[in-house]
Amino acid sequence: MPISFEGCAFGYRRGTRVFTRLDLDVPAGRTALIGPNGCGKSTLLGLAASALRPRAGRVSYQGLDPFRRGNLARYRALVGWMPQRVRPLPGLTAREQVGYAGWLMGMSHGLAWRRSLEALEAVELGPVADTRCAELSGGQLRRVGLAQTLVHDAEVVLLDEPTAGLDPEQRERFRGIVARIGERGHLIVSTHETADLAETYDSVVVLDGDRVRYAGPVAGLGAASESTRKV
Amino acid sequence: MPLRRWARSSAAALALPVLLAYLFFVMSRSVDALEDNWLSATVLVSSAAVLAAGPVCAAAGAWEGARLARGGVDDAAAVRSRAAILAWSLLPVLGAALVALLGGLALAGVAMAGVAGLPDPLVLAVALLVITAWTLAGFAAGRHLHPLVGVPLLLVGTWLWLACPAALETFWVRHLTGNNLGFCCETHTVYDRRALYAQAVVAVSLAGAAYLAWSRRRGARPAWAGIAGLPLVAVAVAFPLVRDMGPEAQVPRTSGLACGRSDGVEVCVWREREKRLGTAALIAVPAARRLAAGTGLPAPRRVTEGPATGGASWRFAMPPGAKPDDVLFGLATGLLPAEPPVCGPGWSGADAHGPLSAWLALKAGAGQDAVERRTGPRSTGAARRALGLPAAEQVRWFRHNLDALRRCDVSPSEVTLP
Amino acid sequence: MRTWLRVHRAAQVCGALALTAGLVAAVGDVLVPVPGLAVEDLAGVPVALVAPLAASSVLVRGALAGAGGLEAAAVRPVLAYRTGMVAVVCALSLVMALVVTVPYAAAAARNLVGFTGLAALAALPRGRRRDAATAAPAAYLVAAMLLGRPGAGSWWDWPVEPSPHPATWVVPAACLGFGLAAPVLARLRPGRRPRRRG
């Protein structure tokens, strides 16, 4: 089942628009979301996470429009979102923060606490589970953010520039984790790294300004850009 | 960063209008009651500026401090020193305070038009120092407190520290704040510099402690010794300076007289009133002669607005707007003791004050109506009855009742009407 | 819920509330002289009327704290929790004012409600300006001190009104009501404008 954006319009301020009419279906599997800075990648992920509400049109997954009465909790339970900036919550350990994320996503306290360790181990942070988040490195904190999206077994995982600012080794490790997540369902990753798209992702969406330049298999991206260049 | 954007992005841009409005409100209440000397105007302006700018700048400092902390100043390996980084954020806020202070001075300048003299730079400097100290305290608080807590806490906390001591019976606290209650000084008094030094000591230590708290590097051992020790040292130094002061930090003025001679008597007025020296001489010298003749006291060689011994020099006052009767009344009552003796309960000497004041004022040549307005009909009646006595009896009556005002063992005589 | 309370600084909020209550009980009736335009001499404002500003600031800070992005997409009704936290603290202060016989207790509770309501209204626009929300009640307090006439029982200068006259409750209660209800109403209508992200 794809995640559908149907005629979505959105703007942060009155009179401005990030999207005037966005029509897009993101298929299952691993999808890279690429485009220049400010083109709306984070906004698109925010809309998909239902953290942002479109001014017009609708977003849906499995036929669920989150902003129709009674759908919001059901929709959100299916989605895990890692925003661009993962903030350490003062005083909480990595496990507590991930457990808190699980609790926010509707899990019971006990279940969230148990699952938090599993999520941290999935992102290779088991050894620092009891370390305060404020003491973790930038790369570790991003992986805590990733664990937050995994703790409640989301079908759709949305990652906003997860590897930005990481060193090559951390990036490689992150890529491995991302590959494993992608096998479970929907994974949409906004990224600027296009070097290894084919190895990591199944499909790609290219945003440019208010338009979707390309949406389809990674393999087709080269031909599409070739034809664009000819035009 | 372009200068305009730098200034506009600072909290000072928001603080300035608030600050100016508050300053105007505070000053507008008192500007009409200014004395005819620049010191009173300076103290009013500095008090209003401290009361208005202290809390607002502290709150702005808390905002800016939090901004710097959020901007990652702590973690950045900056080329500039921490003091320079602080200064760039501090300057617009202090600039706003300075603008407010200058605005206040301009307002006072309009009210003081025609009065000789200039604002006291030391009073203004201490006011700026106090404002700077509170702004730095705001920066220090802002580094550790979220603006949602830091801004209102600093705004109201600073304001309470500045305004509250005026309500306390413990007088010395009020002389440490820098607020000065908005008042000092009548022209015959000057500001007690000890209060000014105490305020400067407290402000410098607060600024020092705040800077230490702000500039501590993350992970470094806190300079608790300095942060806690500086205020303690300040109190230890400042407290003895202000311990014995009364409700107001003013002491008698000893310099700044303009003198001239009239009919063999030297007449001195405060230099701010030099233009009225001739008028003062015309009123005070003949009155002094009449008083000397009537009381049997030796005629004075000097009548002055400054310090007077009471023997060869007598004191009078000629404030702006004073009528001749007011001057005569001041000269006459200047012959009475300034303070009553410490006699305990049952002392009746005070009963003599009114009749003696009225009798002396009438002897000096003051109008009966003016005297009655000031002393009341009973005292004027008693004085009028004494004036009906033979001259020698009057002198005896005056001396006896003067003794009653000075001593505990003498009771007033014939000061009440039958 | 325990972690939610930790994240939203419930302990600090309780501490600030207890400290304010102690302050009101101990020195609440001490008058702070303030220059006012409407009165001849310095107007005296009891400390009890000013102290709730601190508790209100800590409460607002607690309510607005939290994991921004995470809570924005949460399944649990975090907005209701936040609203509930503020409402419970305000209700608690009212109960304390009714139970404890301390001068100005009711007026202090009213001011806590009013200051919190004003800050809640000021916090409605999102973004960095939200961090200055508590400056609004502080500025209102100072303005009321300058322009108000303590003891007159008028509706607008409630922060300096020592008596808990019913008329002085209108604005604080309305501010809190609107401040808490507005985000809920905004969620119900389409096209709410959230905080900007990259």
| DSSP per-residue string spanning C62-130 | HHH-S-HHHHHT-SS-HHHHHHHHHHHHHHHHHHHHHHS--TTHHHHHHHHHHHHHHHHHHTSS-SGGG
Query: For residue range C39-67, what is the model confidence (pLDDT) as tens digits?
Result: 555 567 888 999 999 999 999 999 988 77
Count of C-beta atoms within a 10 Å radius of residue C110: 28
pLDDT band at C126 (very low <50, low <70, confident <90, very high): low
Query: For residue range A13-63, what is the model confidence (pLDDT) as tens digits?
Result: 766 777 888 888 888 888 888 888 888 888 889 998 888 888 888 888 888
Q: Are B42 and B104 in contact (CB under 8 A)?
A: no
Residue A20 domain flag: no
pLDDT band at C191 (very low <50, low <70, confident <90, very high): very low
| A residues 73-92 lying closer than 8 A (beta carbon) to C | 73, 76-77, 79, 81, 83-85, 87, 89, 91-92
Cα–Cα nearest to B394, from B363, B361, B373, B348: B363
Per-residue pLDDT at C40: 57
Helix (H, G, I), strand (E, B) or coil at B374: helix
A111 interfacial to chain C (CB closer than 8 Å): no
Per-residue pLDDT at B412: 81
Which site among C64, C134, C147 would you substitute to test the B interface, given the most B Cβ atoms closer than 10 Å to its Cβ?
C134
Per-residue model confidence as pLDDT tens for chain A (231 residues): 778 888 888 888 766 777 888 888 888 888 888 888 888 888 889 998 888 888 888 888 888 888 888 888 888 888 888 888 888 888 899 999 999 999 999 899 889 999 999 889 888 888 888 999 888 888 888 889 888 888 888 888 898 888 776 777 777 777 777 777 777 778 898 888 777 777 788 888 888 867 888 888 887 776 655 544 443
Rounded mean pLDDT, B223-232: 82
Per-residue pLDDT at B97: 92
| CATH code of residue A208 | 3.40.50.300
A103 interfacial to chain C (CB closer than 8 Å): yes
- Tell me which residue range forms the domain holding C29: 2-188
Contact B152 C138 (CB under 8 A): yes
Q: Chain C residue with minimal CA distance to B66?
A: C131
Per-residue pLDDT at B77: 60
Cα–Cα nearest to B206, from B136, B157, B154: B136
Percent of chain B with pLDDT over 90: 28
Q: Is the dihedral of CA C55, C60, C63, C64 positive or negative?
A: negative
Rounded mean pLDDT, B213-239: 80
Q: Which of B75-89, B114-128, B384-398 has the lowest mean pLDDT?
A: B75-89
Per-residue pLDDT at A153: 84
Residue A58 domain flag: no
Total number of domains constituting chain C: 1
Which site among C71, C75, C76 would you substitute to test the A interface, given the most A Cβ atoms closer than 10 Å to its Cβ?
C75
Residue A109 domain flag: yes
Of residues A42, A56, A76, nearest to C74 (C-beta): A76
Q: Chain B residue with minimal CA distance to C41?
A: B29
Tell which wins on pLDDT, B32 or B252. B252
Residues in chain C within 8 Å Cβ distance of A160: 198
Q: Mean pLDDT score of chain B, rounded to an integer?
A: 86
User: How close, in Å, is residue C133 to chain B by CA atoms?
Assistant: 7
- pLDDT for B394 beyond 70: yes
Residue A111 domain flag: yes
Per-residue pLDDT at B196: 92
pLDDT band at B267 (very low <50, low <70, confident <90, very high): very high
Contact B25 C146 (CB under 8 A): yes
Which site among C64, C71, C193 would you substitute to test the A interface, given the most A Cβ atoms closer than 10 Å to its Cβ?
C193
pLDDT band at B417 (very low <50, low <70, confident <90, very high): low
In C, what residues contact A, Cβ < 8 A? 1-4, 6-7, 66-76, 78, 190-198
What is the rounded (10 degree) CA torsion for A61, A64, A69, A72? -40
Per-residue pLDDT at B74: 66
Of residues A11, A76, A83, nearest to C197 (C-beta): A83
Per-residue pLDDT at A229: 44
Query: For residue range C134-161, what is the model confidence (pLDDT) as tens digits?
Result: 989 998 998 888 788 777 767 888 998 8
Per-residue pLDDT at A136: 87
- Which DSSP string corresponds to chain A? --EEEEEEEE-SSTT--SEEEEEEEEPSEEEEEE-STTSSHHHHHHHHTTSS--SEEEEEETTB-TTSTTTHHHHHHHEEEE-SSPPPPTT-BHHHHHHHHHHHTT--HHHHHHHHHHHHHHTT-GGGTTSBGGGS-HHHHHHHHHHHHHTTT-SEEEEESTTTT--HHHHHHHHHHHHHHHTTSEEEEE-S--TTHHHH-SEEEEEETTEEEEEEEHHHHHHHHHHHHH-
Q: Chain C residue with minimal CA distance to A85?
A: C69
Residue A60 domain flag: no
Backbone φ, ψ for residue A80 (5° rounding): -120, 130
- Tell me which residue range forms the domain holding A224: 28-48+73-230
Residue A211 domain flag: yes
- pLDDT for C108 beyond 90: yes
Query: For residue range B286-320, what is the model confidence (pLDDT) as tens digits?
Result: 999 999 888 888 889 999 998 887 778 899 988 88
Contact C53 B66 (CB under 8 A): no
Query: For residue range B152-198, what is the model confidence (pLDDT) as tens digits?
Result: 999 988 988 888 787 777 888 888 888 876 677 888 888 888 999 99
Q: Mean pLDDT score of chain C, rounded to an integer?
A: 84
- pLDDT for C188 beyond 70: no
A158 interfacial to chain C (CB closer than 8 Å): no
Residue A178 domain flag: yes
Cα–Cα nearest to A12, from C160, C126, C186, C114: C126
- pLDDT for C196 beyond 50: no
B38-70 in b/e burial notation, b at 16+ Cβ within 10 A? bbbbbbbbbbbbbbbbbbbbbbbbbbbbbbbbe
